[in-house]
Amino acid sequence: MTSTQTKFLLNDSDLPKQWYNIAGDVPEVLTPVLHPQTLEPITPEFLNVLFPMELIMQEISTDRYIDIPEEIQEVYKLYRPTPLIRARRLEKALGTPAHIYYNYEGVSPSGSHKPNTAIAQAYYNKMEGTKALTTETGAGQWGSALSMAGNFFDLPVEVYMVRVSYDLKPYRRVLMETFGAQVYPSPTPHTDYGRSILEKDPDTPGSLGIAISEAVEAAVKSNGQKKYSLGSVLNHVLTHQSVIGEEALKQMDMAGEYPDVVIGCVGGGSNFSGIAYPFLRENLRNGVKTRLLAVEPQATPTLTKGLYAFDYGDTARMAPVIKMFTLGHTFIPAPIHAGGLRYHGMAPSLCTLFDEGHIDAVAVPQIPTFEAALQFTRAEGILPAPESALAIRVAIDEALDAKEKGEERIILFNLSGHGNFDLSSYQLYMADKLENYAYPEEKIKAALEDLPRVNLAPAAAAD
Ligand SMILES: Cc1ncc(COP(=O)(O)O)c(C=O)c1O
């Protein structure tokens, strides 16, 4: 290995054959999932209205490893293993003694880490006879990934796209349509919930919580024909994303280094967990002490300002109730926020691990985030997704801190996607039209008034 190597590439044969499930090492991440009406723990049968049985079994599994079916591996091979790149030009621009590595998920056909679970979800649904999938999307990365996966497994996909993104980001919509997906601006007049929102506010920009409600309703009312697919938050989604960290462990080994800190942005928590959980396993089982750092926007400060409580997964209170850090299910993000990551909650497993101190979190404002994105683009040539730019901001801050302290810190971050469809956000930034915006404390307090009052029997609560 020469010391000037920049890319660390694995072969098709190095593709992980198993996903890593954090519940195999930390079973307490499996917190109870409650019925949205009764607020009692729900059964796999109830969840089966929404998800195929295999995914439900993965959701509650404590097996440390889950085999990846060959059909899924075949599709993964279109873009996996993804490259690990040493950001030598960025290091130079910063004048830092730190070594900065990034795992690049933007090489996937739809441009982000989302296909890692979309492909698996489409496959299991197809195997169990589902006739179509429903889902929501914000900026469109998840919708594109599921549309692509549905197309590969011959499964029609219905996407409820948050209206403001549908209007502002038409190219993501067109991409979904090229895969044959049906894309609706949410709220739509096609669901009871969408109609009820439109009656009150015909000009609503929509929200991810509303779009989730519509996609769930469309599945629930389909007489078992359609099932719902979620692109983050749930345990099985995070498990599918573990291929990122498993590959990165091998690639860091090729580089002859081991990270002091692993950084990822968090929306629902899936790309961060994907890279971080395999390193957490090494912390837990092999006594290493890598710091795992989740980065969120100050406009959606779920981990850093939210309350750790049971809350609904969606705005209409149709999706299951889970224990998570939350800004309240009525949360509607500020329109000034251009960077994605607009979900009110967070993956329950990540919340447990954060609460127990295994993971750190930080919230950053949007202008320094876009500044970091441009600095990265100019050094490394890749225009990052605005979501991923949060991880870049903090990786640069770590590198500058290492410079100040004269430390050769090893930094690894996940570059979860490219920003080639997010040019309108970059345009706003370059035209000085963005402001820093921190979600106000009073709004968080008010939204938390609407949390469900959960009163679990002590045994269930302690699960
Ligand atoms: C490129 C990119 N990175 C990150 C995220 C955040 O989602 P998660 O926290 O599930 O990785 C999204 C999703 O919306 C995304 O499109």
289 or 341: which leads in pLDDT = 289
| pLDDT above 70: residue 59 | yes
Q: pLDDT digits over 226-274, tens only?
A: 999 999 999 999 999 999 999 999 999 999 999 999 999 999 999 999 9
* Helix, strand, coil tally for the chain in percent (to 5): 45, 15, 40
Given this model, what pLDDT does residue 460 score? 52
Rounded to the nearest angstrom, the distance between the alpha carbon of 111 and the centre of ligand 1 is 11
| pLDDT above 50: residue 113 | yes
* Residue 7 CA: distances (Å) to CA of 82, 87, 169: 10, 9, 32
Rounded to the nearest angstrom, the distance between the alpha carbon of 217 and the centre of ligand 1 is 24
Neighbours of 432 (CB within 10 A): 8
Determine contact, residues 345/381, Cβ cutoff 8 Å: no
439 or 305: which leads in pLDDT = 305
The alpha carbon torsion through 229, 231, 235, 238 (nearest 10 deg) reads 140
To test the ligand 1 pocket, which listed residue (175, 207, 232) has its Cβ within 8 A of the most ligand atoms?
232
The amino acid present at 166, given as its one-letter code, is: Y
Given this model, what pLDDT does residue 458 score? 59
Strand partners, 185: 161
User: Could you give the percent of the chain with pLDDT greater than 90?
Assistant: 84
Rounded to the nearest angstrom, the distance between the alpha carbon of 267 and the centre of ligand 1 is 6
DSSP summary character for residue 122: H
Query: Tokens in use for 268?
Result: 């629902």
Cis amide linkage into residue 320, ω under 30° from 0? no
Rounded to the nearest angstrom, the distance between the alpha carbon of 114 and the centre of ligand 1 is 7
**Interval 405-410 mean pLDDT:** 98
Q: Which helix or strand (DSSP H or E) is residue 354 part of? A: helix 348-355
Closest by alpha carbon to 250, among 68, 13, 25? 13
The residue whose CA has the least distance to atom 1 of ligand 1 is 417
Length of the chain: 463
Given this model, what pLDDT does residue 459 score? 54
Given this model, what pLDDT does residue 110 score? 96
Determine contact, residues 65/20, Cβ cutoff 8 Å: yes
Rounded to the nearest angstrom, the distance between the alpha carbon of 128 and the centre of ligand 1 is 27
Q: pLDDT digits over 126-179, tens only?
A: 999 999 999 999 889 999 999 999 999 999 999 999 998 899 888 999 999 999
The residue whose CA has the least distance to atom 7 of ligand 1 is 267
Exposed/middle/buried for residue 453 (C-beta within 10 Å: 0-12, 13-18, 19+): exposed
Rounded to the nearest angstrom, the distance between the alpha carbon of 450 and the centre of ligand 1 is 26
To test the ligand 1 pocket, which listed residue (104, 114, 354) has its Cβ within 8 A of the most ligand atoms?
114
To test the ligand 1 pocket, which listed residue (82, 110, 113, 414) has its Cβ within 8 A of the most ligand atoms?
113
Measured CA to CA, the distance from residue 344 to residue 327 in angstroms comes to: 5
**Interval 34-44 mean pLDDT:** 92
| pLDDT above 50: residue 318 | yes
Pocket around ligand 1 at a 6 A CB cut-off: 112, 138, 141-142, 232, 265-272, 340-341, 385, 387-388, 416-417
> What string of DSSP letters covers 32-98?
-EE-TTT-SBPPHHHHTTTS-HHHHHHHT---SEEEPPHHHHHHHTTTPSPPEEE-HHHHHHHT-SS
Rounded to the nearest angstrom, the distance between the alpha carbon of 50 and the centre of ligand 1 is 22
Top-ranked range on mean pLDDT: pick from 298-302, 391-395, 433-437? 391-395
Given this model, what pLDDT does residue 462 score? 47
| pLDDT above 70: residue 73 | yes
Closest by alpha carbon to 386, among 416, 431, 430? 416
Rounded to the nearest angstrom, the distance between the alpha carbon of 263 and the centre of ligand 1 is 13
Exposed/middle/buried for residue 221 (C-beta within 10 Å: 0-12, 13-18, 19+): exposed
Measured CA to CA, the distance from residue 406 to residue 325 in angstroms comes to: 36
How confident is residue 303, by pLDDT bands cut at 50, 70 and 90? Answer: very high
How confident is residue 455, by pLDDT bands cut at 50, 70 and 90? Answer: confident
**Interval 404-426 mean pLDDT:** 96
Rounded to the nearest angstrom, the distance between the alpha carbon of 3 and the centre of ligand 1 is 32
The residue whose CA has the least distance to atom 4 of ligand 1 is 387
| pLDDT above 70: residue 337 | no
Measured CA to CA, the distance from residue 282 to residue 245 in angstroms comes to: 11
The residue whose CA has the least distance to atom 10 of ligand 1 is 270
Average pLDDT, the chain: 94
DSSP summary character for residue 137: E
Q: What is the 3-state secondary structure (H, E, C) of 264-304?
A: EECCCCHHHHHHHHHHHHHHHHHCCCCEEEEEEECCCCHHH
To test the ligand 1 pocket, which listed residue (341, 351, 376, 392) has its Cβ within 8 A of the most ligand atoms?
341
Given this model, what pLDDT does residue 442 score? 87
**Interval 190-218 mean pLDDT:** 94
Given this model, what pLDDT does residue 2 score? 47
Given this model, what pLDDT does residue 264 score? 98
Rounded to the nearest angstrom, the distance between the alpha carbon of 459 and the centre of ligand 1 is 34
